[in-house]
Amino acid sequence: MNQTPDGTGPVPLLQVEAVSCRFGGLLALDQVSLALEEGEIFGLIGPNGAGKTTLFNVISGLTPPSGGRCLWRGAPTTGLGASGLNRLGIARTFQNLRLFESLSVRENVLVGLHHAARAPLLGSLLGSGAFRRQQGQLQERVMELLTLLELEALAEQRAGDLPYGDRRRLEIARALATAPRLLLLDEPAAGMNPAEKDDLRRLIGTIRQHFTLTVLIIEHHVPLMMQLCDRLAVLNFGRRIALGSPAEVRTDPRVIEAYLGGRP
Amino acid sequence: MDAALLEQMLLGALLALSVYLPLRCGQLSLATPGFYAVGGYVAALLSTGVPAFAGSGATSPLPALLAEMVLGGALAGLIALAIGGPVLRLRGIYLAIATIALVEILRVLNLNLPFTGGAMGIFGIPQPFAHAEGYVLFTLALLALACWLCQRLEALRLGRAMAAIRDDELAAACVGIDTPRTKLIAFVASAVLAGVTGALAAHFFNSWNARAGSFDASITTLAFVVFGGSRLWPGPVLGGLVLTALPELLRPVGDLRLILFGAVILLGPLFFPQGLVTAERLHWLAARLGRGRHRGRQAPQAP
């Protein structure tokens, strides 16, 4: 099925090809390349300012790269924009949480079902039987997702009033509502205590199983990443300095140098 | 209250809803009076220049009025569609400034085009209704339709997408919402509503000139929404009704009324930063009314 032209193997779900990103004098990403295989949990680590979030922004279409390109199942994604890439199957969360704060928890997830909610205008306006049945199905889907993320009791609360951990999970629920193939999680464990981090690790495992997802995750908490990820890439000053299994990355001298500082 | 003032208030409420529609997805457009003027000119030109629209009896035919409203709304909508793409790339106050410029361009065009009657404008516009009461009933029906559509929007995918863009445009794009298209739909809907209102107003006022769509009018219509609230449709409706009536009701105090009017616009946002109508106040009101109706029974819990 998905074979490369020379027949050497399956096409990766997402390829990042020599992506560079320059903001004025700052080279935030310098020729970064990665390939994500379908179904894996892939971690992205690196010191602050290494370009991890910038890479997320490029992959999700928020920032056009200054050089290089991304390929989705082998096809370039150039120029698609954030909404186009979401429709291809890429969903994301944000490091500093971007919920629709004035909407309820339920409505936030319902907005995520935007594309499942397509309906003829006249039928929708007049509240036809077909429209009401569809609304019922959407609400069921919302409640399934909220239950999975343990938010069902908060469905009618305003998203802006939620405590921090619930907001993180709501963002994941909203991203999952868009039926993604690839989920980008930007520091999902930030600000969580060890017990919550443990819950999160289990949750990510569960949703990967449940939705047959590929997950790309940025996280600073290295032990969590070592447990969770199938493969890891390490960024430092915009460059990819290591790539491999957690065991390989842990012992890589360049990674140790980036985290602990170089010898003079 | 006399019917003529009531009619002006209803027209004010319709214009306030036209400002409210783009605000629902976070777009501050002040172009409403420009589209209102365009709709009015369409009605004025057709009903004074085309015999079929003017009719032959004492009052002009009602189907002609409806056709003018459709055409006035359509022309305003087409203008919005044509300029919406580039203009809606601007955000916040820059969009507001660009739409003020649009109102000015339309005003100067209306003053100088060979067929719009110059500064005097167009007068002797035939009347589809013999009395102001006829206008009031007709406009009330139009306002009810507009309110119903705004209310239905809440349950619709489009309405939710608009609310999402208002809260966080970037996050909205990341859940697959085509944000430029959604904003354009809101802008065009706003223009159509303003154009339709203008076509009706031109008949009611009997004459139409470029002053209908001025910078002053932009600010007045904005005040409707600031005063009433921009979150829920009853807000702009209330703002449009009250702020249109206020200058007239204050007439007995003479020139002092302008100062009082200014004070209301100044103090409203200070004491009611969300506008008069908010979800909390509506729930409170609903609970009060409910209690009044079923005395002794438990008032229904607000959702």
Token pair listed for B227: 């005063």
Tell me, what's the pLDDT at A8? 59
Per-residue pLDDT reduced to its tens digit, B106-135: 999 999 999 998 889 999 999 999 899 999
Choose the closest CB to A103 out of B155, B167, B170: B167
CB contact under 8 A, A98 and B171: yes
| DSSP-derived 3-state class of residue B155 | coil
Percent of chain B scoring above 70 in pLDDT: 96
What was the pLDDT predicted at B286?
87
For residue A229, pLDDT beyond 60: yes
Rounded to whole angstroms, how far apart are CA atoms A54 and A30?
11
Q: ipTM of the assembly?
A: 0.91
Query: DSSP strand E in chain B: where?
Result: none
Option in B166, B168, B176 nearest A114 (CB): B176
Q: Could you read off the pLDDT of B198-232 as tens digits, one per residue?
A: 999 999 999 999 999 998 899 889 989 988 998 89
Give the pLDDT confidence of B277-289 residue by residue, as tens digits. 888 888 888 888 8
* Mean pLDDT of all residues in A19-46: 93
Tell me which residue in A62, A83, A100 faces B178 most closely, judged by beta carbons. A83
Which amino acid belongs to residue B168? D
Q: What is the model's pLDDT at position B301?
A: 45
Please say if the pLDDT value at position B250 is more than 70.
yes
CB-CB contact of B261 with B223 (8 Å): no
Question: Which is nearest to B62 in space by CA: B134, B148, B145, B143?
Answer: B134
Element (H, E) at B69: helix B62-87
* Per-residue model confidence as pLDDT tens digits over A193-208: 888 888 889 999 899 8
Please report, as a single letter, which amino acid is at residue B195.
G
H or E element, residue B147: helix B132-153
Contact flag A110-B178 (C-beta cutoff 8 Å): no
The residue type of A40 is E
pLDDT > 70 in chain A, percent: 95
Q: Please report which confidence band the pLDDT of residue B297 belongs to, taking 50, 70 and 90 as the band edges.
A: very low
Chain A residues with CB-CB distance to B172 below 8 A? 100, 111
The percent of residues above 90 in pLDDT, for chain B, comes to 67
- Read off the pLDDT of each residue in B72-101 and give the average, rounded to a whole number: 94
**pLDDT over 60 (residue A264):** no
B21-72 pLDDT, tens digit per residue, is 999 999 999 999 999 999 999 999 999 988 888 877 778 889 999 999 999 9
Q: Which of A39-48, B88-97, B230-239, B252-261 has the lowest mean pLDDT?
A: B252-261
- Pairing mode of beta strands A41-45, A214-218: parallel
Q: How far apart are CA A121 and CA A87, in angstroms?
A: 21
Contacts of B283 (CB under 8 A, 6+ apart): B302, B303
Does the beta-carbon distance from B176 to A99 stay under 8 Å?
A: no
pLDDT band of residue A7 (cuts 50, 70, 90) is low
B265 has pLDDT over 80 = no
pTM: 0.91
Rounded to whole angstroms, the Cα distance separating A120 from A129 reads 12
Q: Which of residues 72-111 of A touch B (CB under 8 A)?
A: 81-83, 86-87, 91-92, 94, 98-103, 107, 110-111
Residue B162, min C-alpha distance to chain A (Å): 10
Confidence of residue A2 (pLDDT cuts 50, 70, 90): very low
pLDDT at A263: 56
pLDDT band at B302 (very low <50, low <70, confident <90, very high): very low
- Give the residue with greater pLDDT, A184 vs B260: A184
Strand order of the sheet with strand A41-45?
A90-92, A182-186, A214-218, A41-45, A231-236, A239-244
**B156 chain-A contacts, CB cut-off 8 A:** 124-125
- pLDDT interval class at A151 (50, 70, 90): very high
Average pLDDT over residues A176-191: 93
| Between residues B182 and B263, the one the model is more confident about | B182
Q: Which of A81, A102, A112 sits opposite B175 (nearest CB)?
A: A112
Q: Give the tens place of pLDDT for each residue, B152-170.
A: 998 899 999 999 999 999 9
Which percentage of chain A shows pLDDT scores above 90?
Answer: 67
Residue A50 has pLDDT above 50, yes or no: yes
Residue-level pLDDT at B225: 92
CA B111 to chain A, closest CA, distance in angstroms equals 39
Average pLDDT score, chain A? 90
* Residues ≥6 apart with Cβ < 8 Å to A68: A16, A17, A18, A19, A20, A31, A32, A33
| Cα–Cα dist A97/B249, whole Å | 49
Does residue B11 carry a pLDDT above 80? yes
Q: pLDDT confidence of B300, banded at 50, 70, 90?
A: very low
What DSSP state is assigned to residue A89?
A: T
- Cβ distance B155 to A124 less than 8 Å, yes or no, reads yes
Residue B22 has a pLDDT of: 96
pLDDT > 90? residue A220? no
